Structure 1
């Protein structure tokens, strides 16, 4: 059948023309698709790379193997704590529940693309139901049968909505991985803080014993009349002050231990980590970690999926300009007598097709398309910001590791010099060559430098864990960047 607009009347033609134009524009519109861009650096600046010259396309690789990165620290207690947190941590369990919800929503949305089949039965009583006899007496009409409906997805509305829901679920899965990585890193950093406090506690307690030896010596010298009571009071002040520092460390350790209990999903009242020597290994960071490792960061992957889902929703909004076509069918039995309901003569059936297209909706579809485009712009901005933050975090940790390594060497020299000065001062004080104030000053300097050395060491461990978290877990990266199963970048349909 040929149809010409010129054959229509002027009023009808005026009503149809905008509809045809809208359909034409919708048909010409293309759904934005493809991978978002990331900075094009092949390597990080702190490892000798030149600054990025621009942005390039990034292939998602959240499926790349990470492995148990915490085993590089060679600490069985840390291994046990992270394994416990993976199972019991409430943040991980909450993220897993949100992932299950997103997957259920994706299945629900995808169900709209499949045929819908159901059974129905009913009974109605009223007057005038039996049209064949034209009776006005009250009668009962019973029916039973099956129904069938299917919406033809000619313009991709349902498939794009399904893609968007699937990508939302993939984003939730990446957020679950991100939560798990964050919890693992936090457990490691909290545990390492605990071990640093154990080491500092031992150091301060040793210094307390050294001050007590000096106090006993000073008391004997006072009894012999060699020094005044003021000198004894000064040493007693140092003893008490250092003991106060030790108690402050005990309080801080208790609080860190309680925080660790929450991370592993245990009660602070029943959880405990025994004080032990700090024997945790410090992993060596290989040179030349490629910047492509950032594409496997779970939060970056989640931001990519958000962009892809937004692209699909733009397609859904564009498809709203096209008609919806549904096929329906029903077959069963209908009878005014329930005893005759399933007789062959009571059979009934029907098929139908429904086409619907709003002509005037007050700008609802246009507003929906603008909203979808705005969400896409926001998702792109959020993704790029997430990538920039990822680069910042990696560069921060790399610079911290480099500077802390230099600081550790300088601080080791300061500790050695302070320890030598204390030893010489103690000998000279015992022989009466220097005053007590000189000895106390030497001891204070040694304690201060030793504690600073411990703080630098602790910061090195914290930066190592921070770097592992910043690059998405471990730096053993395969030669090729992982992608989807067929090697094609994952994204919405165009």
Structure 2
């Protein structure tokens, strides 16, 4: 079949005149993230570096922690939801891309018609049809751009959920081990208190001390036993919370007590400031700005006419068998133009809505960057101050232990009452427990630092190596 030259010329002109409406995406300006108060040598890195995050939890050198984190990544249901959302966003992007391709359809039909002034007749036809809407104004291209940015934002959200899960597991594990260490301290102290109580009873029987000293020693001993139950209850709750993060029933998780906490990782002095570029939430916010920007272009195309090209060809016959013998061949080709003339201001409102949403997302992105920098400064200040506090607490503990030894010796010599021993013992116990709390806080702050900079400070990361000039 022959297609008119004028129709082909019109189609070619439509394709050549295609353009893309709307502004191209430019990341919004934000605050300077290279200047920090509590850490020198930090520098920003490329915006896609969050995807290169390593297994930051291995810096704690704790095999049990590593196993728990890996297990949580396989069974946590919150993570499964985020993965499903990403697959949906990816499917939406593929669906938008499909609009660029002409639609091909096939049909086979049969009709029977007649009337009072004509005989009844049958008509059979078979056809192939191609329909295509040229993307003259960039509506499809902008839609694809928006959905692609949305898919990238969903991927960043997935990374954020994964990182939040890792952090939650690490923090819960640290709390669990801190409770284990607190219980160990109480048991060790309990043994010392029992020795003191036994000594006091012996001295009372020998007539050296008063009955009040025995009562005081036994009261102190019983109080410590009660505190131990509180720690056991807290540990049970923490283990149950950890089981929920792993996606298992509490009965399926049983962690043996461990009286030591992981060591606080030594951070490199030139730790790069990967927070702004590496954090998944910052990446997601920037991608949402890009998506909103593309939707402005989509809204602008509503003011321009829609053009479609339809081509179909087929065969017709008065009998079904005739379709395969010598049928009549028919075809049709032609463009169609559709333009909305009056819509009551809907298009204007849609454009204003798209612009407002873009401004909203840009402001959200800027605020996310500001909050990220604040969180970074907070955790760096916390680590620095806790490091100094740990040193002072170690000195306090050493003095408390020495004071307790002196008080015990003076009590055995009959120089002081048991009240002085009780006071010294309580000071030592409190100092030991505070030292554990400080250590746990330093570990938790280190975990938070890993989260704030997007998942780690692995110096083998090629992105970080490029920042450090290695």
After TM superposition, the score normalised by the length of structure 2 is: 0.90
Establish whether residue 76 from structure 1 lines up as the match of residue 58 from structure 2. no
Q: Map 1:146-185; keep pairs closer than 5 Å.
A: 146-185=128-167
| 1:391 corresponds to which of 352, 370, 373 | 373
| 1:91 corresponds to which of 78, 82, 102 | 78
Establish whether residue 341 from structure 1 lines up as the match of residue 333 from structure 2. no
- 2:23 counterpart residue number: 31
Query: 356-365 vs 30-39, which deviates more?
Result: 30-39
Deviations 1:16-60 (A, max 9, x none): xxxxxxxxxxx997515212223223242211489x9xxxx9962
How far is the alpha carbon of 1:84 from its aligned partner? Answer: 0.9
Q: Map 1:308-347; keep pairs closer than 5 Å.
A: 308-347=290-329
Alpha-carbon distance in structure 1 between the residues aligned to 2:400 and 2:274: 45
Q: Map 1:418-433; keep pairs closer than 5 Å.
A: 418-433=400-415
CA contact (8 A) 1:98 1:172 kept: yes
- Matched position secondary structure for 2:207: coil
How far is the alpha carbon of 1:286 from its aligned partner? Answer: 2.2
Deviations 1:150-174 (A, max 9, x none): 1111111100001101111111001
- 1:485 counterpart residue number: none
- 1:200 counterpart residue number: 182
| 2:198 corresponds to which of 201, 216, 234 | 216
Alpha-carbon distance in structure 1 between the residues aligned to 2:90 and 2:467: 27
- 1:44 counterpart residue number: 36
Which runs of no fewer than 5 residues in structure 1 stay unpaired? 1-26, 129-133, 483-494
CA contact (8 A) 1:292 1:481 kept: no
Which runs of no fewer than 5 residues in structure 2 stay unpaired? 1-18
| Distance of aligned partners of 1:346 and 1:191 in 2 relative to their CA distance in 1, 3 Å threshold | same
Deviations 1:400-425 (A, max 9, x none): 00000010011111101111111111
Alpha-carbon distance in structure 2 between the residues aligned to 1:247 and 1:137: 99
Q: Map 1:373-452; keep pairs closer than 5 Å.
A: 373-452=355-434
| Distance of aligned partners of 1:282 and 1:59 in 2 relative to their CA distance in 1, 3 Å threshold | closer
**Residues matched between the structures, number:** 446
Establish whether residue 364 from structure 1 lines up as the match of residue 346 from structure 2. yes
Deviations 1:364-386 (A, max 9, x none): 11111101001101110111111
Establish whether residue 456 from structure 1 lines up as the match of residue 462 from structure 2. no
How far is the alpha carbon of 1:345 from its aligned partner? Answer: 2.2
Alpha-carbon distance in structure 1 between the residues aligned to 2:145 and 2:121: 51
CA contact (8 A) 1:81 1:264 kept: yes
Alpha-carbon distance in structure 1 between the residues aligned to 2:49 and 2:155: 10
How far is the alpha carbon of 1:357 from its aligned partner? Answer: 1.3
CA contact (8 A) 1:42 1:291 kept: yes
Alpha-carbon distance in structure 1 between the residues aligned to 2:113 and 2:226: 92
Alpha-carbon distance in structure 2 between the residues aligned to 1:420 and 1:280: 27
Alpha-carbon distance in structure 1 between the residues aligned to 2:368 and 2:467: 19
| Distance of aligned partners of 1:160 and 1:318 in 2 relative to their CA distance in 1, 3 Å threshold | same
Alpha-carbon distance in structure 1 between the residues aligned to 2:20 and 2:456: 46
Alpha-carbon distance in structure 1 between the residues aligned to 2:50 and 2:432: 44
Q: Over aligned residue pairs, what C-alpha RMSD do you find?
A: 2.3
After TM superposition, the score normalised by the length of structure 1 is: 0.85
- 2:448 counterpart residue number: 466
Deviations 1:191-219 (A, max 9, x none): 11111111111001111111111112222
Query: 435-444 vs 81-90, which deviates more?
Result: 81-90
Deviations 1:256-289 (A, max 9, x none): 1111111122221111111123252311122343
